[in-house]
Amino acid sequence: MERKQYQLGDIVQMKKPHPCGTNEMEIIRMGMDIRIKCVGCKHSVLVPRTKFESKLKKVLRSSAEPDAAKEKIGE
């Protein structure tokens, strides 16, 4: 089993593209559930972590910038 590495702010590709035709989602919240936002239409969805991992195809871009990492996540 391969473990997928992802973090807040990453742009990820899902197995199924969003209905709008874009297949790039940004991780905008991480917790028990993960909130991802479509880069194309800005629509966001909340998915359970397990479901997210099963639907995740790959991480396209990692937001490893120090400034972005310091951002606080509001619960």
Question: What's the half-sphere exposure (Cβ side, CA atoms, 13 Å) at 5?
Answer: 4
Per DSSP, helices labelled H in 4-63 are 49-55
Q: Which is nearer to Zn ion, 6 or 38 (CB)?
A: 38
Rounded to whole angstroms, how far apart are CA atoms 16 and 22?
10
CB of 20 to Zn ion, least distance (A): 3
Binding to Zn ion by residue 68, rule CB under 5 A? no
Residues 15-54 that bind Zn ion (CB under 5 A): 18, 20, 22, 38, 40-41
- Provide the binding-site residues for Zn ion, judged by CB under 5 A: 18, 20, 22, 38, 40-41
